[in-house]
A = this chain, B = another copy of it.
Amino acid sequence: MQTKHNEEALDHLHHSMISEFSKTLEMFSLNTTESQLFVILYLSDEPMTLDDMKNALGKSKTAMSNSIRTLLDYNLVERVWIKGVRKDLYQAEKDLYGKFMKAYVNRWLDAIERQKSNLQQIEEHIQDDEIQSDRQTSVKLKEAIRFHDALEDVFNDIHEKDL
């Protein structure tokens, strides 16, 4: 009975960790399932199959398949091969902080670069067409571009720190 009590307590413990830790991971623009999935893999000693995850989270296999693929895209999870095992196996990347930060910062930098370039095109467009834009708008446009520069700087700083 003591063992059973202990087992339940361990289950509860796992459940709490998944519930709590995943909330933080959601802040990295992961959705609920993706975050929970990562935590599950993170807590597991051994690589897991889609069916393992399905059982652990109580969701459909398709949901697992989709979520695991975005985690792969973000480089937060890797597929491993074990001789004799037919199913695909996945495990969480070791370097928790580094991987998450890298994934996060890269997504920011990509977006910033894209948006900055869009704004710059608008700026060129003004000059080419000789539109008599009000002074105010022109000033704001330049300011917005500088804003993007500043963002780029911050995220580049972070990026360089954890190389």
Contact = CB atoms under 8 A, between A and B. Distances in A.
Interface of A: 6, 9-10, 13-14, 16-17, 20-21, 23-24, 27, 42-43, 45, 96-97, 100-101, 108, 111-112, 115, 118-119, 122, 125-126, 129, 131-134, 136-137, 140-141, 143-144, 147-148, 150-151, 154, 158, 161
B43 A6 contact: no
A23 B115 contact: yes
12 contacts: A10-B137, A17-B137, A17-B140, A17-B144, A20-B118, A21-B119, A21-B144, A24-B111, A42-B140, A96-B147, A100-B147, A154-B161
Contacts of A27: 108, 111
